[in-house]
Amino acid sequence: MTAPTTSTLTIGGDLTVGRIGFGAMQLTGKQVWGEYPDHDGGIALLRAVVDAGVTFIDTADVYGPHSNELLIRKALHPYPDNLVIATKGGFVRGGYDYSTLDAVGNPNYLRQSANMSARRLGVDSIDLYYLHSGQATDVPFEEQVATLAALKDEGLIRHIGLSNVTLEQFELAQTITPIAAATALYNAGIRRGVDLLRATEKTGAVFSPWHPMSIADGGDPERITAALEPIAQNHGATVQQIALAWHLHRAPNTLPIPGTTSLEHLRTNLAAAQITLTSEEISTITALVPED
């Protein structure tokens, strides 16, 4: 049996969080646009997240836009001392249609975004602020990172993270300012973020896989699910729990952020931290998708 090597992680050397966080994005309207329709239910769920011991919540200004950060503030402010909230800036969205999502790196825009996220969340300093995308081409990537570094120097941001960047961008950013975390699409069925997982393992940054359980989203979901099912049966667990437990075993710096609107799923997702996979099970899941 191979237990996950750590039960907590440290972000940027001074923020300690539990290994399974919570992704708040689902608490918005359809297609991540507008308000979450069950306002009171969303508040109750966020409070249940914290009551269950979760110490890391992932959000972004573009979730809603804005309504997700505001819901978090309404549910949880004043925040418990041990709660770390990560938010992101650098995407604009022109309407309900996902195709209107656009990456923006203009320094003044990023500055405004970080200031407004802090205001919406009700904090003087944002624990972890991600550049949401490496795709903006209106200004050089280095300038975008330098903007975040300046915001950190000014105290508005405590730590800097990078979302969905390439390995080259991650390495370039490290030459400008310390990068405390990276987040990318990575799960049992899709390994798009593997370069960042490897790079962060070396630097000591946290790697936060998004869509950590969405094995049905792409690749070959039937095959992946069929491979996870016998492992789930061995542990009296669900396929989703095994998909989550695998992240914790995959590398010591992973911080999956499962999202749910269901109290029952919240409970079972967090219980995945108690599952100890065998080294054979870990290898079986890792080998499902080539990573080289």
Ligand X SMILES: NC(=O)c1ccc[n+]([C@@H]2O[C@H](COP(=O)([O-])OP(=O)(O)OC[C@H]3O[C@@H](n4cnc5c(N)ncnc54)[C@H](OP(=O)(O)O)[C@@H]3O)[C@@H](O)[C@H]2O)c1
Q: Which residues are catalytic?
A: 63
The side-by-side arrangement of strands in the sheet containing 22-23 is: 22-23, 56-58, 84-89, 126-131, 157-163, 181-185, 206-210
Residues belonging to the chain: 292
Region of 24-32, 106-114, 221-229, 284-292 interacting with ligand X (CB under 6 A)? 24-32
What's the start-to-end Cα distance of the chain, in Å?
Answer: 26
How far is C-alpha 165 from the chain's CA centre? 14
Q: Is 284 in the site for ligand X (CB under 6 A)?
A: no
Please, are residues 128 and 158 in contact by the beta-carbon 8 Å criterion?
yes
Among 49, 56, 58, 169, binds ligand X (CB under 6 A): 58
197-236 binders of ligand X (CB under 6 A): 210-214
Q: Is 23 in the site for ligand X (CB under 6 A)?
A: yes
Q: Is 169 in the site for ligand X (CB under 6 A)?
A: no
Q: Is 28 in the site for ligand X (CB under 6 A)?
A: no
The nearer residue to ligand X, 30 or 155, going by C-beta atoms, is 30
Residue 215 Cβ, how far from ligand X at the closest point, in Å?
A: 8
Interacting residues of 133 by C-beta distance below 8 A, sequence separation 6+: 90, 91, 103, 163, 164, 165
Residue 145 Cβ, how far from ligand X at the closest point, in Å?
A: 16
Quick one: which of 236, 194, 241 has its CA closest to 215? 241
Residue 144 Cβ, how far from ligand X at the closest point, in Å?
A: 15
**Residue found by looking up tokens 């080998």 in the block:** 287
Q: Is 259 in the site for ligand X (CB under 6 A)?
A: yes
Q: Is 163 in the site for ligand X (CB under 6 A)?
A: yes
The nearer residue to ligand X, 100 or 279, going by C-beta atoms, is 100
